[in-house]
Structure 1
Amino acid sequence: MQKKNLPDISPEMLPELADFFKLLGEPVRLKLLSSICREGGGSVNELSERLSLGQSVVSKHMNMLHEGGLVDKKQDGSRCLYSMPDDTLCRLCLIAAEKIRAKADRLRRLV
């Protein structure tokens, strides 16, 4: 593998980096993030209806994503609107999905 000119990850940063990836390690949260990346943000009710998930489930996971700094949360009257702060996380998920597709393609060719 060719070395890339990437910033160094300090040992002090590793626990925080692990926490970041733990937030992404839950299928419901990935489903929510994917929906927000594709279709835009929304309220808990809107996301719940869009994905056929219970409101309490959506609320719990969106709060976790917000507390982890992965999504923005804005109060709009009595409801909270969630959105992506930028497209960085969307691009990261696309890169990961491409890696998984490429691995599946390699395995199919072996069979």
Structure 2
Amino acid sequence: MLAELAVFFKMLSEPVRLRLLSSICTEGEATVGELVERLQIQQSVASKHLKLLFESGFVGKKPDKGRTLYFLPDDTLCDLCGLAAEKIMSRATYYRELLDGAAPRSEGV
């Protein structure tokens, strides 16, 4: 189980993949071309990472009027990334308060 968990988190360790997932989470399903425009990345980069995300089950794809749409099968990844972002923001606030000399409101780490 731990090995599978490590593989799962390894898929999330690449910034481009996180950006692709985040875009689909926030802006909805999209074609490769739409994701390229949204993220201002090269088509080959988007295709490579979407292929990995699809093969790992992180995204699904479906035909739509002669094109392929990438989507998230459920909201689990959006929720997970949201929790991680909250934790990072909490830690940043904690350390900013320490640097400013204020007593931190919470441990944050």
TM-score (norm 1): 0.85
TM-score (norm 2): 0.86
SS of equivalent to 2:16: helix
Aligned pair partner of 2:81 in 74, 93, 97: 93
In 2: Cα distance, 1:14 partner to 1:79 partner: 37
In 2: Cα distance, 1:100 partner to 1:77 partner: 40
Q: Structure 2: which amino acid aligns with 1:32? A: L
Aligned pair partner of 2:23 in 35, 51, 56: 35
Q: Structure 1: which amino acid aligns with 2:62? A: K
Paired residues in the alignment total 99
Pairwise CA RMSD of aligned residues? 1.0
| C-alpha displacement of 1:50 | 1.2
**Stretches of structure 1 lacking an aligned partner (at least 5 in a row):** 1-12
Aligned to 1:20: 8
**Stretches of structure 2 lacking an aligned partner (at least 5 in a row):** 100-109
Residue 70 (structure 2) pairs with residue 82 (structure 1): yes
| C-alpha displacement of 1:79 | 2.9
In 2: Cα distance, 1:71 partner to 1:77 partner: 19
In 2: Cα distance, 1:15 partner to 1:63 partner: 21
SS of equivalent to 2:62: strand
In 2: Cα distance, 1:26 partner to 1:33 partner: 11
